Amino acid sequence: MLKRLLWLLIILSLIPAFFLVVKRIRAEGSQRTVTLVMDEQALATQAEYYGMTAFELGEHYRTLGLNGVAIYEETVSSFAAKDEIVMLFGSSLKSEALLNGLDVPDLPSDSLLLTELQPGSLGALINKVEPKPEELEFSNRDWYVFQGVNASRPVGPRRETIQEWSEAGWDIAYRPRSYPNMVNIGADYPPEAHYLIYHGLQVAGHPGELDDVVRVSQNYITGIIEGTPQEGMQEISQKIPTARVLSFNQDYINEKLSPQDLVDKYLLAANERGIRILYLRPYIETQQGDMLQNTDEMLTKLVATLEGEGYKIGPLPVLEFNYHPSPLLRALSSIGIIAALILLALLYPGIWGVLVALAVAALGLLAGKLDWDALALIAALSFPVLGYGYFSKRLINIGLATLISLAGVVLLAAVGSDQEAMMAIRPFAGVAATLVIPPALFLFHYALKYRRPAAWLTDFWQAPIQLGHVIIFMLGIAALGLIVLRRGNFPIIGASEAELALRQWLSGLFVRPRFKELIGHPLGVLGLANRDWPEWIRALLLTGGVISQATIMNSFSHYHTPLLISLQRTLIALIIGLIIGFVALPLVRLTIRLVRRWLASAPRPRQA
């Protein structure tokens, strides 16, 4: 009776969760515009090899479809290199005074002195530094004296550069730099820019001037760089227009990524992760061949592929991405997660169920704290176990197990999704545990179905060793370990060339399914369809099935991926996995019969 009530609570909690999921899908929208911006510094480096300016080379790439450029905030050293200012260290100025028979100024040798060559070129710097620099007159020029010799101080944009690109119609991303004790943040941001993509690991103005950042950012789209957490971004992201950015390290491009690799990665990011600013860098070394030809090829293929997928390339509209879920609906949805946790506890005999539930709840609180993230993690750890835990006797139950996981997905998305999570500013708490804990919980449950842990330990310690069992057991453990270790963007065991080719082929047909599901679902089919096999073998096979269910939950825990994309991936993986499983089932059974017949034909040893 209690179990039926808990299942009913899960079903009822799906009603408020459904409204939240629909709201999120609408918020994700169907925006199909992307912008291609190229790094101006890298562009200038490549242009030097061909005797061109960055702007001239950019105009060449514009004929291939490039529409934007990313221009960095200038520094003291870069301004000096462009003849906007003159830079001297205190020790150098003292030496010059001595050589020219002038009075030696009283200033530290490790100070930095700046004077303007172009009128007003230091105005932005003076306006935003605290404390203000001292002023010194030397050799009929006015100098500003800064403590320390750090020439990386940001000095604002170079107006001539901004105007040149803007007047030619380029979509401009401006890259402000962070520096300690800056004030008047954003006063020098160029109005011609469309995007702000902060350089480095901090938002300019962090931590004390973020209110200014929010105020000046309203007329720009601020880029959130995938895989690069920036201090201060979480505090401002819900108050300003934002878009997600994908870029790759210059050395990684030069050494590892072919033009086709870049095209595939950018397309995947646009399709499956909501990336709207594709931040490009040209090849500036020759490890992979001619720099210009490779960049031409990358751009040509990328533009053709994006347009073939229905994307428009151009300036992004300022979208009001505003997803703030109702706390009441989240609370009602969380009832289903609590019910799932209790059902998980009821899978285990006696005190073990209480201990398991407490451990899962503690892990949720440890990773997600007293927040919705804790409930989302509890859902991700509980639901994958319930399907195979309660329904593991018939082959058709693989569909029921998947439906239970999808119910968990709806509750996870309803409770855990908010604007910060969907922009990947706040990652899913405890994501690594979602692929490891559920299979471990299922194995523990399966073992306790037959005997207590002490009995298992005794039998294991005293069991006679048979080489065949050891080999099968090690193969099973290796397969499960392979599935678990192949997680994340940088797995311990990477994909083979054959698998990468298969992935690319699948991506060309539809949303690429995850390989853990393509392995786990067939293992689940074998475990459910062969009830006469030894239970320890079924336990390993069904655990593979649980891993596929855990992978479903893991896919939806990547909140930045649109829900409909994750759903497509899940259904495609289920269909392909079932096909593989049903094809493998008779082949495995035939192989077992043939092996048994071959082993039975072996002559028995003669009695002594």
Does 300 lie in the same domain as 425? no
Q: Tell me if 553 sits within 8 A of 408, measured CB to CB.
A: yes
Lowest model confidence (mean pLDDT) among 19-23, 86-90, 225-229:
86-90
Spatial separation of the C-alpha atoms in residues 2 and 178, rounded to whole Å: 58
Does 465 lie in the same domain as 524? yes
Spatial separation of the C-alpha atoms in residues 356 and 430, rounded to whole Å: 17
SS3 465: coil
Asked whether residue 59 is domain-assigned, the answer is yes
Does 173 lie in the same domain as 266? yes
User: Which residues does 162 contact at the CB level (< 8 Å), separation at least 6?
Assistant: 71, 172, 174, 190, 192, 193
Q: Where do runs of H (alpha helix) occur along 326-390? A: 327-346, 351-368, 372-390
- Residue 480 is predicted with a pLDDT of 57
Q: Mean of the pLDDT values across residues 120-137?
A: 84
Q: What average pLDDT does the chain have? A: 84
Amino acid making up residue 212: D
- Residue 487, pLDDT > 80, answer no
Closest CA to 196 of 228, 220, 164: 220
Does 129 lie in the same domain as 39? no
- Residue 322 is predicted with a pLDDT of 65
Cβ atoms within 10 Å, residue 308: 9
User: In total, how many domains does the chain have?
Assistant: 3
Does 512 lie in the same domain as 492? yes
- Residue 181 is predicted with a pLDDT of 83
Does 276 lie in the same domain as 132? no
Closest CA to 262 of 228, 206, 301, 210: 301
- Residue 205 is predicted with a pLDDT of 87
| Residue pointed to by tokens 């990684």 | 252
pLDDT in tens, 544-561: 889 999 999 988 888 777
Asked whether residue 576 is domain-assigned, the answer is yes
Closest CA to 288 of 298, 280, 279, 301: 298
273, 292, 313: which is the final residue of a domain? 313
146, 168, 197: which is the final residue of a domain? 146
- Residue 377 is predicted with a pLDDT of 92
- Residue 509 is predicted with a pLDDT of 47
Lowest model confidence (mean pLDDT) among 94-98, 113-117, 408-412:
94-98
Does 80 lie in the same domain as 56? no
Q: Tell me if 403 sits within 8 A of 337, measured CB to CB.
A: no
Banded pLDDT at 375 (limits 50, 70, 90): very high
Q: Mean of the pLDDT values across residues 249-271?
A: 92
- Residue 108 is predicted with a pLDDT of 79
Spatial separation of the C-alpha atoms in residues 170 and 185, rounded to whole Å: 25
Asked whether residue 575 is domain-assigned, the answer is yes
Does 56 lie in the same domain as 106? no
Domain coverage including residue 87: 76-146
More confident residue, 407 or 518: 407
Which helix (H) or strand (E) segment is 273 a member of? none
- Residue 253 is predicted with a pLDDT of 95
Banded pLDDT at 140 (limits 50, 70, 90): confident
98, 114, 146: which is the final residue of a domain? 146
Does 139 lie in the same domain as 166? no
Does 82 lie in the same domain as 67? no
pLDDT in tens, 164-178: 999 999 999 999 999
DSSP 95-152: HHHHHTTPPPP---TT-EEEEESSTTTTHHHHHHBSSPPEEEEETTEEEEEESS--TT
Q: Tell me if 302 sits within 8 A of 262, measured CB to CB.
A: yes
Asked whether residue 605 is domain-assigned, the answer is no
- Residue 533 is predicted with a pLDDT of 80
- Phi and psi dihedrals of 253, rounded to 5? -65, -50
Amino acid making up residue 145: V
- Residue 579, pLDDT > 70, answer yes
Highest mean pLDDT among 43-57, 76-90, 383-397, 512-526: 43-57
- Residue 307 is predicted with a pLDDT of 92
Banded pLDDT at 88 (limits 50, 70, 90): confident
Q: Mean of the pLDDT values across residues 418-441?
A: 81
Lowest model confidence (mean pLDDT) among 22-31, 96-105, 202-211:
96-105
Asked whether residue 209 is domain-assigned, the answer is yes
Banded pLDDT at 490 (limits 50, 70, 90): very low
Q: Mean of the pLDDT values across residues 353-362?
A: 92
- Residue 121 is predicted with a pLDDT of 85
Asked whether residue 393 is domain-assigned, the answer is yes
Provide the CATH number for the domain around residue 185: 3.20.20
Highest mean pLDDT among 48-57, 365-374, 527-536: 48-57
What 3 state SS string does 182-224 have? Answer: ECCCCCCCCCCCCEECCCCCECCCCCCCHHHHHHHHHHCEEEE
pLDDT in tens, 191-242: 999 999 999 999 998 888 888 888 988 889 999 998 888 999 888 887 888 8
Does 103 lie in the same domain as 63? no
- Residue 512, pLDDT > 70, answer no
pLDDT in tens, 438-486: 999 998 888 887 767 666 666 666 666 655 556 656 765 666 566 556 5
Q: Mean of the pLDDT values across residues 324-343?
A: 92
- Residue 142, pLDDT > 90, answer no
Asked whether residue 318 is domain-assigned, the answer is no
Asked whether residue 408 is domain-assigned, the answer is yes
For the chain, give the percent of residues with pLDDT over 70. Answer: 86
Does 413 lie in the same domain as 303? no
